[in-house]
């Protein structure tokens, strides 16, 4: 019980001093056994006396990219598509995208010299950027009233390129397009593909407009203001991509919880075809952009693993090539959802985790603090246990 108590105490200490309303932290080993799961604080400020529980659902946003990438890799394994394929025949809309240049009131476009491949979409080198992460696209969408990633739909992800394909790494709607590719190659809507091909005992993971009949309650949303105070923020009715039952955003549309997502992460702890996902897919000339992935318009995405940690990018997530001070091993993977959710996959130690909250903007410092403290206690406890006679999950 010491491990459980220490992790919980580390998170409670942050909740008590930061005003953080609540979160869920959980860990699984490579055998699929739960090592730790805990829910702290309240589920929603709009529903008094509602306690956070481990089955609470969250908008996990960019966690969706991991599942969509797995789906695409399944199609690659089946020989239905390849990493080197130019996407034009499957995604003619992408073939029409041009590079945006200029400035407010004086926009120009030019045709890219390089064709976009499946791999470029999977590793974010296609030249696409989210509006929320790039000043250029932000100003263009505001001036032209063009739909954005928040809207969902093909139009919302059909934003101009900001760079020549293959020449930079940058975060954007590329994996949303992979979701469209999966649908067109498989002949299934993305929700149906996930249900049929990625079951894994998952019960409560779904696109917002495709909820099961009796899903677990969702965590309430919050937005931290410039004064540091948290205000309630209703995601339902505010983020259109979460309401669509026709377009399933492969980059950001999933609702999920700790139990379901740990099942996915546990599968990735084991060697096999997923090993491709953990290979650094970014050439050395592009690595510099990974050392500060801070969005121009959303400074909250800090380099939460530290600027001195060597990094790479696999297929869906950042790779930390060095061990972390928390105890996470070299070669581990992690990524985030925009409402301050985090997952980690540590093959060297056979451990994966989720830290789930629902706070905007991304990279909320209180959540990051709680996440790091919990991870430190997790690895410290596992190290202590490894020196003892009994390593079974039931004793952790």
Domain boundary among the residues 153, 186, 219 is at 186
The single residue listed with the structure tokens 């309650």 is 217
Beta bridge partners of 24: 39, 356
pLDDT tens-digit map of 15-54: 999 989 999 999 999 999 999 999 999 999 888 789 999 9
Regarding whether 288 and 346 lie in a shared domain, the answer is yes
Regarding whether 117 and 39 lie in a shared domain, the answer is no
Residue 390 has pLDDT above 50, yes or no: no
Beta bridge partners of 356: 24
Q: How far is CA 365 from CA 16, 169, 348, 372, 396, in A?
A: 14, 25, 27, 10, 29
Residue 242 has pLDDT above 60, yes or no: yes
Provide the mean pLDDT of the chain.
90
Q: How far is CA 134 from CA 138, 351, 357, in A?
A: 6, 34, 24
Regarding whether 271 and 151 lie in a shared domain, the answer is no
Q: Please give the model's pTM, rounded to 2 decimal places.
A: 0.93
Output the pLDDT for position 273: 54
Regarding whether 231 and 333 lie in a shared domain, the answer is yes
pLDDT tens-digit map of 247-280: 999 999 999 999 999 999 999 998 655 788 999 9
Distance CA 251, CA 105 (A): 30
CA torsion angle for 374, 377, 345, 360 (degrees, to 10)? Answer: 10
pLDDT tens-digit map of 322-379: 999 999 999 999 999 999 999 999 999 999 999 999 999 888 999 999 999 999 999 9
Regarding whether 145 and 53 lie in a shared domain, the answer is no
Output the pLDDT for position 392: 38
Domain boundary among the residues 186, 216, 236 is at 186
Burial class (CB in 10 A: 0-12, 13-18, 19+), 212: exposed
Query: What strands lie across the sheet with 230-232, from one edge to the other?
Result: 230-232, 222-224, 359-360
Task: Read off the CATH number of the domain in which 344 is found.
Answer: 3.40.710.10
Regarding whether 349 and 317 lie in a shared domain, the answer is yes
Beta bridge partners of 346: 351
Distance CA 155, CA 171 (A): 18
Output the pLDDT for position 1: 60
Residue 97 lies in a domain: yes
Output the pLDDT for position 137: 95
Output the pLDDT for position 272: 56
Structural domain range at position 180? 73-186
Regarding whether 313 and 241 lie in a shared domain, the answer is yes
- Number of other residues whose CB lies within 10 A of the CB of residue 245: 12
Domain boundary among the residues 152, 186, 220 is at 186
Residue 116 has pLDDT above 80, yes or no: yes
Structure-block tokens of residue 179:
């979701």
pLDDT tens-digit map of 157-204: 999 999 999 999 999 999 999 999 999 999 999 999 999 987 677 889
Q: At 48, phi and psi to the nearest 5?
A: -55, 145
CA torsion angle for 240, 177, 343, 40 (degrees, to 10)? Answer: 10
Regarding whether 262 and 163 lie in a shared domain, the answer is no
- Number of other residues whose CB lies within 10 A of the CB of residue 204: 18
Output the pLDDT for position 238: 82
Residue 191 lies in a domain: no
Confidence of residue 69 (pLDDT cuts 50, 70, 90): very high
Regarding whether 362 and 234 lie in a shared domain, the answer is yes
Regarding whether 225 and 371 lie in a shared domain, the answer is yes
Regarding whether 304 and 172 lie in a shared domain, the answer is no
Beta bridge partners of 231: 223
Residue 196 lies in a domain: no
Regarding whether 155 and 248 lie in a shared domain, the answer is no
How big is the chain, counted in residues? 396
Who wins on pLDDT, 133 or 217? 217
pLDDT tens-digit map of 290-327: 665 555 555 555 567 777 888 999 999 999 999 999 99
User: Count of domains in the chain?
Assistant: 2
Residues 151-155 have a mean pLDDT of: 92
């Amino acid at each position: 019980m010491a491990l459980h108590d220490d992790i919980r105490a580390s998170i409670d200490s942050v909740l008590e001093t930061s005003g953080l309303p609540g979160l869920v932290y959980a860990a699984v080993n490579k055998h699929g056994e739960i090592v730790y799961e805990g829910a702290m604080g309240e589920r929603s400020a709009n529903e008094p006396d509602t306690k956070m529980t481990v089955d609470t659902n969250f908008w996990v946003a960019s966690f969706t990219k991991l599942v969509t990438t797995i789906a695409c890799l399944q199609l690659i394994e089946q020989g239905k598509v390849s990493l080197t394929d130019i996407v034009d025949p499957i995604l003619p809309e992408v073939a029409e995208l041009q590079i945006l240049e200029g400035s407010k009131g004086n926009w120009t476009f030019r045709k890219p010299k390089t064709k976009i491949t499946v791999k470029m979409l999977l590793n974010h080198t296609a030249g696409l950027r989210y509006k929320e992460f790039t000043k250029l696209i932000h100003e263009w969408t505001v001036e032209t009233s063009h739909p954005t990633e928040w809207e969902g739909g093909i139009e919302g992800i059909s934003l101009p390129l900001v760079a020549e394909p293959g020449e930079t790494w940058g975060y954007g709607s590329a994996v949303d397009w992979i979701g469209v590719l999966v649908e067109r190659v498989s002949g299934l809507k993305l929700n149906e593909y996930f249900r049929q091909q990625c079951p894994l005992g998952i019960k409560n993971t779904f696109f917002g407009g495709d909820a099961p009949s009796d899903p677990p309650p969702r965590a309430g949303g919050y937005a931290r203001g410039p004064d540091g105070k948290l205000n309630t923020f209703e995601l339902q009715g505010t983020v259109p991509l979460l309401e669509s039952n026709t377009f399933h955003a492969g980059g950001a549309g999933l609702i999920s919880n700790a139990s379901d997502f740990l099942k996915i992460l546990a599968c990735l702890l084991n060697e096999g075809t997923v090993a491709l996902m953990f290979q650094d897919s970014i050439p050395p000339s592009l690595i510099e952009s990974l050392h500060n992935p801070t969005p121009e318009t959303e400074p909250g995405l800090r380099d939460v693993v530290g600027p001195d940690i060597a990094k790479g990018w696999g297929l869906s997530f950042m790779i930390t090539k060095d061990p972390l001070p928390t105890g996470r091993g070299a070669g581990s993977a992690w990524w985030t959802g925009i409402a301050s959710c985090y997952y980690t996959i540590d093959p060297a130690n056979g451990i994966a985790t989720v830290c789930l909250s629902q706070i905007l903007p991304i990279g909320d410092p209180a959540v990051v603090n709680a996440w790091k403290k919990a991870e430190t206690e997790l690895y410290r406890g596992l190290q202590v246990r490894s020196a003892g006679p009994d390593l079974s999950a039931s004793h952790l």
